[in-house]
A = this chain, B = another copy of it.
Amino acid sequence: MPNVSHRSQTVPLSPFRKLIPLADRAKRAGKHIYHLNIGQPDIKTHPQAVAKFRQLPWQILDYSPSNGIDSYREALCGYYRRFDVSLTADEIMVTTGGSEAILFFMLACLDPGDEIIIPEPFYANYNGYAHIADVRVVPITCKIEDGFSIPSAEAFARKITPRTKAIVITTPNNPTGACYSRDELDRLSAIVRKHDLFFCADEVYREFSYDHPLQSILQLPDLEKHAIVIDSVSKRYSATGARVGSLVSRNLEVRESVDRFAKLRLSPPGLGQRLSEIMLEDDGSYLQGVKEDYHQRRDTVYQRLSRMPGVYSYKPGGAFYCFARFPIHDSEDFCRWLLEDFEYEGATVMLSPGPGFYATPGLGYDECRIAYVLNSEDLERAMDCLEEALKVYPGVDAEAMASGKLQA
């Protein structure tokens, strides 16, 4: 029998992948699972846009241009103008979800052996794409006590080598919910200009910034050659299955390089693009409503966590994630135990264990990511489960539990 590739055996997996069979088994046994492990919201895709999409006249579902439907890219220019970012349609390349934009960025800008610096904890799938592109991920550790803010310029300088080609950030952040301030972005901007690096910002949660106006690296001056933005309609319009994202760059060489890979795969999805174009016609009221909904959920989760003995969470400013510290030694075991050995009123909660979001070994064992993708009522029930679980989990860290709480 021919052997599969070695590289396929070493693809880094999702932090909660090992838990899925346990969750399935628990469900079969009749336990209800509150899924706070995944980024699949329960919010309806823009209903008016969906209705209009159904009426669209089309007869041939043909390839779109490899960089996306022209009118959709024009409409995206209008979207960016809403927050004072001026782009031409050429500067926007439509991709098959934000995921493909990440892969295209790595292939177009990095050669095998090149390095990217990413503040950790970070979206775990960057590891997988770096694996495909044979690129080395260099983590720089952010701390919960600092609200997962961007480390100092000196800390970055220590990570830079002749192979460093880019700094990659996610803002608002997955998994921490941190929204980087203008000051933090300016600091990173100075570093990438000084060391002549690409500055790739994954801004797919851009709209979900609860305490401050949204920031985009596209608003920063003097980054025309450096800035590459990953974007997506998935979270914004609760349309994760559309598989429509984009890669934005004002650097023509970058776009030409991306275009070679884009042409290879012929076209991003046609139906998703048409739906996305219609969703962009929204006057802002849908997005406003969704944002308010997440804002409320954020407050629910944060307040509940704040009241749990031994649990520490900083208040996440955006996205729909909270990355909290628990009074435990091994979050992988805790998440497993929640599914296998615990239930409260017939239910339990599924979280993502922290270590999978770190590249530095040994970190995240007292942390879990909570995705607040459920409605507030379900979220309250899920928090009930979590609170009860911490009272009876055998692996609880009594010292951490007793030491009281740090508060943000």
Q: Which residue from B9, B43, B63, B254 sits with its C-beta under 8 Å from A60?
A: B43
Size of interface on A: residues with Cβ below 8 Å to B:
78
Tell me if B241 and A269 are in contact (CB < 8 A): yes
Q: Which residue from B11, B43, B61, B198 sits with its C-beta under 8 Å from A241?
A: B61
Tell me if B44 and A4 are in contact (CB < 8 A): no
Is A189 an interface residue when CB atoms closer than 8 A count as contact? no
Tell me if B260 and A129 are in contact (CB < 8 A): no
Q: Which residue from B132, B225, B243 sits with its C-beta under 8 Å from A107?
A: B132
- Shortest A402–chain B CB gap in Å is 40
What CA separation (Å) do A45 and B62 show in the bound complex? Answer: 9
> 1/0 per position for A1-23, CB-CB distance to B under 8 A?
11011111101011001000000
Say yes or no: A267-B253 contact (C-beta < 8 A), given A8-B108, A11-B260, A40-B62.
no
Stretch at the interface among A83-91, A95-103, A147-155, A350-358: A95-103
**11 A-B pairs with C-beta separation under 8 A:** A1-B226, A4-B109, A4-B254, A5-B257, A8-B260, A42-B60, A45-B60, A132-B132, A240-B267, A241-B267, A243-B268
Besides the known contacts A42-B60, A54-B54, A128-B261, 4 further A-B residue pairs in the complex with CB atoms under 8 A apart = A2-B196, A2-B197, A11-B260, A14-B263
Which residues in A have some Cβ–Cβ distance to B below 8 Å?
1-2, 4-9, 11, 13-14, 17, 40-45, 47, 50, 54-55, 58-64, 96-97, 99-100, 103, 107-112, 114, 125, 128-129, 132, 134, 165-166, 196-198, 225-226, 238-243, 251, 253-254, 256-258, 260-261, 263-272, 275
